[in-house]
Amino acid sequence: MTIKAIAGLNIEVTEEGYLKDASAWNKDIATAIAKEEGLELTEKHFEVLEFIRNKVANGETLTIRGIGKSGVVDAKTFYQLFPGAPLKKATKIAGVAKPVSCM
């Protein structure tokens, strides 16, 4: 168990820095994690994060294809918003578990 101080709160995270409890998340935490990843969050980022959190809360599998078809962003914009490894980065910032999907 790792406790990490994020945005002034002590949050339980995994070894890779993913939040253990999605309900502990708030926008300040997202901003702080994003900063560590070198990202400045915009309204659009938060829209995507919201979509991801809802998907995960409903127990659905996250895929880049699914996010690209969500109507929130297309796949290309998703890659631009979270450059590098978008699914991993976005889930970390959204405070949900690391995705296990290959797609």
Partner 1 sequence: MENEKKYPLKKVLMICSKGNLEDVMAALVMANGAVMEGIETKVFFTFFGLDAITKKTMNKLHTATVGNPAMRMPGGLPFPTLLGGLPGVEAGVTKMMKKGMDKLDIPPVDEFLELIEAGGGEIYACKLAADMFNLKKEDFHETVKAIITVGDLYAMCDGLGTQIVFT
Interface map 54-73 toward partner 1 (x if CB under 8 A): -------x-xxxx-x-----
Q: Does 15 bind partner 1 (CB under 8 A)?
A: no
Q: Does 84 bind partner 1 (CB under 8 A)?
A: yes
Vertex 74 angle, CA 73 and 79, to 5°: 90
Binding partner 1 (rule: CB under 8 A), the pick from 87, 90, 93, 94 is 87
For residue 64, the 8-state DSSP code is H
Q: Does 74 bind partner 1 (CB under 8 A)?
A: yes
Residue 63 CB, nearest distance to partner 1 (Å)? 5
Q: Using CB atoms within 10 A of its CB, is residue 91 exposed (0-12), middle (13-18) or buried (19+)?
A: buried
Burial 26-38, CB ≥16 within 10 A → b, else e: eeebbbbbbeebe
85 counts as catalytic: no
Residues labelled as active-site residues: 102
